[in-house]
Structures are given as structure tokens and as C-alpha cells.
Amino acid sequence: MSAFLERIDMSALLDDVERVRRIDRDGMCAILAKFPEHCETAINLAKDLQIPQRVRISNSRVLRYGVPKQIVIAGMGGSAIGGNLLKDWLRASLLIPVEVCRGYTLPAYVDEETLVFATSYSGNTEETLSCLLEAVERQCMVIGISSNGVLQEFSEKLGLPLVAIPGGYPPRSAVPYIFFSLVAALDALGILPSMGGEIEEALAVLKEVREEITPERPLSDNLAKKIAIGLQGIIPLISGFGFYGSVARRMKTQFNENSKTPTTIELFPELRHNTVVGWARQRNLTKKFGVVLIRDKGEPPEIRKMIEVTKERIFNDGAAAVVEIWSRGRGKLARMLSTLYVGDFASVYLGILYGVNPTPTESIDELKKHLITVDIEGTLRRKLARLLED
């Protein structure tokens, strides 16, 4: 069968809703179809968050809550990407610096005037738990976000404020809950800037986009399916600019986990200072990539020119495919989430084309088995005991 005929066959697969459901047997498409409602639920759940004035951990250690000088969001994987989205969304309006910490230790500057979010959907992420206890040790303002697990247990024992979010989803599907929990906490602390109805607009735009990208929408009128067809058999390279950096990162990880395919990201304007050189001559290598450009009608003139010239002179000839995702909406949040949503569905459809169930992540589970000999949880529990007795 020729490559052309094979692609026709694959397009027919994506429009066969029953076949899609048989491959997607754990229901990732169904979860994504409820993305707007998950956002609404998250907003309502987080409204009841109460921030204490202080939390006494022991006789010598008290956490005092107020307006922080800096914010650190500690998390890994899907539990961390909400922090990246928050940082990019509020970058031009929040005067308090925000950093996302992926790892076992906090930055050296973190102190009692730092607000630290410990975010772990499962509640058992060892890197996040390590940062949680370190933040308590440094007497930071600490807030937990989790559905269950050790993080919830530790938060309750320490008396820390916790946003309890619904469990039962793959962690990467919990982004609405993580993100809007962060937003609600900033609002409860009185430091969330007025965003002029951006959240309401974003929810409306997400519902509009959903109608255009779910499995029932045919390939001929479904951008997410078209992107998947275009990326079949090649390596996705996701490219954005400015506040779309977090969206690009989200797309990269979604193609990794849902499509089970290697993926990379390159961002404007940085890529014109290095990436383009790597694409100049090695066409036998660059033809293995399919470029996904995140676009915005409000692109600054210098960025738009840069994207168009790079697309024309580098990507169109060098890549196997070039596709664009144009944002929707007026506010920054709608524009970010609308492109993210298309990428989420495209990653699932690409997994369907490869015949793989998008939900399981066997490679992660297998790696954990080989790391289980290191007793991180025991070390953390001993540290917790010392903090409570100090």
C-alpha cells in the first residue's frame, strides 16, 4: 500500500468513532471532551479555600501567611504544567515573581516570605513531597494541592491548607484542577490581579472549540485530526512564542504520553539564534520532523515577521510537514487554553493512528519499579516526624 493510500485509510479510522473508542479503551477522548466542565468544577471547588493567618508546626516553627514576595510551584509532570500556565498567563500583570520547581529541592532564595505550592495529583510524587517538607522547614507559606496520597496525609498532619481535587483521572488530565486551584489560592490571598472576565471568556471559548475537535467531528472539518494525520510517522516539533511557551511544553508532553512518540519544543525568538543553523543543511534529518506552529492574531510585528520568514525559508523546505494552530478569543487565557485544547486532542488522535491506547504510560511504571529500592518515602516520613517534634 502506498503512503498516500495508507493516509487515506488512517483518515477513515479517525472518522470511525466506534473504532476510535475501541483503541481508546480507557476513554481519554471522553475525559478531554469534559475539559470545559472540569474547569468549571475546579473553579467551584477552589472557591471554599480558606487561608489561615498562621500554622503552628511545632514549638519552634510557625508558618505565617500573608502577601508573599515570591511564589514557587513545586511539582512534576502534569501536576507542574498548571504552574507554567499560571506563570505565563500572569507574567505581564502579577508583580510577584513566579517560578516552577521540578525536582527534589527548592531554590536557595526560598524563605518565610515565599508562597510554596506543593502540587501532586496522586499525592505520592516524591520530588514534590521533598519540596513540601523543605518549605515547612524554611517556614514558608505552604499550600498543598492533591487528590489523595501522602501529600494529603502530610498536609493534614502539619495543619497546612490543602485544595482537595477529584481523583480517578490520569495526572495529565488534572490540569484544569491544578491550574484553577492555583488561581483560587492567589485570589484568597488577595494577590490575583483583576483579569477582566478572562476566565469566563476562556470557558466559553473552550466549549466552542470542543464542538470542532471531538471524535464525532469529521476529519474534513476537524483541525485536531488533520494535525494528527500530518504528524503521523514523524517527530513533532512544537513551536510558540512568549506566553505560549507553557502551551508548547504541554503539547510536547501530551504527544509523549498520549501518542507514545518522541517530541521536542523550540520557541521564538530564541530558535532563530541557534535552531535554524541545525536545520540549514541536514535535510535528511530535518525531514523526520513535523513542525506545529502556535499562532496568534495579536503577534507582535517582529515576532510575526520572524515566524513567517522562518516558516518560508527553513521549515517549509526542511520539515516533512508544517501545521498551524491559531488561538481563539480576546483574553490571554482563552488564547492559551484554546490552543492547548487542540493540541490535547491532536495528541490522542495521533496515538489512535498508531493503534495505541492513549491512557497507559507503561514506560513510567516500568521505570518506577527499578527505582523502588531507594526508600525515599521512609526518609520523608522521618523528616516529617522531626519537624513535628522540633
Residue-wise pLDDT for 178-216, tens only, equals: 999 999 999 999 999 988 899 999 999 999 999 999 999
Asked if 3-29+197-353 and 35-194+375-389 have one fold, the answer is: yes
Instruction: Answer whether the bond into residue 236 is a cis peptide, omega within 30°.
Output: no
DSSP, residue by residue, 230-284: HHTTSEEEEEEEGGGHHHHHHHHHHHHHHH----EEEEETGGGGTHHHHTSS-HH
For residue 268, pLDDT beyond 50:
yes
Catalytic residues: 257, 273, 368
Closest by CA position to 128, among listed 189, 60, 47, 73: 73
* pLDDT tens-digit map of 322-363: 999 999 999 999 999 999 999 999 999 999 999 999 999 988
Give strand pairing partners of 291: 237, 322
Query: pLDDT at position 8, please?
Result: 47
Q: Which of 288, 287, 224, 286 is nearest to 259 (CA)?
A: 224
Per-residue b or e along 182-221, where b marks 16 or more CB atoms closer than 10 Å to that residue's CB? bbbbbbbbebbeebeebbebbbebbeebbeebbbebebee
Q: What is the pLDDT of residue 112?
A: 97
The amino acid that residue 279 corresponds to is: W
The residues pairing with 116 across neighbouring beta strands, listed in sequence order, are 72, 142
Domain 35-194+375-389 is classified in which CATH homologous superfamily?
Answer: Glucose-6-phosphate isomerase like protein; domain 1 (3.40.50.10490)
The full set of domain ranges for the chain reads 3-29+197-353, 35-194+375-389
Which contiguous run of DSSP H or E holds residue 53? none
Instruction: Say yes or no to pLDDT of 79 above 60.
Output: yes
Q: How confident is the model at residue 373 (pLDDT cuts 50, 70, 90)?
A: low
The predicted structure's pLDDT at residue 365: 80
What are the CA-CA distances from residue 229 to residues 183, 292, 315, 347, 353 (Å)?
36, 12, 18, 11, 8
Q: How confident is the model at residue 254 (pLDDT cuts 50, 70, 90)?
A: very high
pLDDT digits (tens, 9 = 90+) for 294-316: 999 999 999 999 999 999 999 99
Q: Note the CATH number of domain 3-29+197-353.
A: 3.40.50.10490
